[in-house]
Amino acid sequence: MWKEENNKLKKTFKFEDFQEAFAFMTRVAFLAEAQQHHPNWSNVYNEVVIELTTHDAGNTVTEKDRKLAKAIDELNA
């Protein structure tokens, strides 16, 4: 579940191993590029942390963030 805090949507994804985490990040990268909305994220071994905020709107959560979050969840379903 995405959590809204500090003007960001944030979610942690856990995978079997680093390779699965990296493959997920690659799929998210294609989604983000298609939507022209790019996440702040980090990866340590099997964990990917994604934060979404709209810089153009003063670093607040907007519909662009919610749309990308939904698309990311659908990738991981």
| Cα distance between residue 74 and residue 47, in whole Å | 18
| Cα distance between residue 55 and residue 57, in whole Å | 5
Question: Which domains are present in the chain?
Answer: 3-75 (3.30.1360.20)
Tens of pLDDT, residue by residue over 55-75, are 888 889 999 999 999 999 998
Tens of pLDDT, residue by residue over 10-38, are 999 999 999 999 999 999 999 999 999 99
Burial of 4 (0-12, 13-18, 19+ CB in 10 A): middle
pTM of the model: 0.92
At 49 the pLDDT is 98
